[in-house]
A and B are shown apart, each in its own frame.
Chain A
Amino acid sequence: ETGVTQTPRHLVMGMTNKKSLKCEQHLGHNAMYWYKQSAKKPLELMFVYNFKEQTENNSVPSRFSPECPNSSHLFLHLHTLQPEDSALYLCASSQVPSPNPYEQYFGPGTRLTVT
């Protein structure tokens, strides 16, 4: 595997379910990110992890719970979601600091539908 992978690619869940999204990066990076992409809205940064430590929580509701056990893996645990949480969830990674700062590499995303 190369680059940034995400599983599952598609997920349908009820409002009372608990599920997790997984992201893995094979680039040797030390920072990882979760973004939410809703229809007709800009990509929204949700969480940032540097060296496994969360450094950014962009006012995300507590029904989204991130976990970063090591610098290669990032999870997003979901529980009691709302229909408006249906979106494409993108994971990204980068190297900080870097001679090429701010360059983030994205995974293919998980298309989440909450019913």
Chain B
Amino acid sequence: AQKVTQAQTEISVVEKEDVTLDCVYETRDTTYYLFWYKQPPSGELVFLIRRNSFDEQNEISGRYSWNFQKSTSSFNFTITASQVVDSAVYFCALSEANWNSGGSNYKLTFGKGTLLTVNP
């Protein structure tokens, strides 16, 4: 069974601090995808990044960076120089591919999320 663990329930930082959100996953699949989503107070989940299991290169997008380590089954997310607008719940998710006769569907297994509060 697939599982995603986000051990940090809540994190509070002061603006301009760097913060890392941890994500550890379990899967028996050799091909899988990992995601991070942001859920601001408005409720809508916003897609941030997708990585496949064959690409362990770290990625940087502005103040966001992601560290994928297959050896430790981790996909951590770092925000550099945090801002108040970064305050949200962040979810890590893992995909599984499920092929059915009607086509394919893709299931996402989510972690419980980490509530990040950035204080001014």
Give A contacts to B, CB under 8 Å.
31, 40-43, 45, 48, 50-51, 53, 55-56, 88, 90, 92, 94, 96-97, 100-109, 111
Q: Does B33 touch A at the CB level, under 8 Å?
A: yes
Q: Which residues of the other chain, B, contact A45 by a CB distance below 8 angstroms?
A: 107-108
Which residues of chain B from 51 to 103 have any CB-CB distance to chain A below 8 Å in the complex?
91, 95, 97-98, 100, 102-103
Give the bracket for the number of chain B residues in contact with chain A: 20 to 34
Contact in complex: B112, A109 (CB < 8 Å): no
**Chain A residues positioned under 8 Å from B102 (CB to CB):** 50-51, 53, 55
- Residues of chain A within 8 A (CB-CB) of B105 are 31, 48, 50, 55-56, 96
With a CB–CB cut-off of 8 A, which chain B residues contact A109? 43-44
Contact: B106 with A108, CB < 8 Å? no
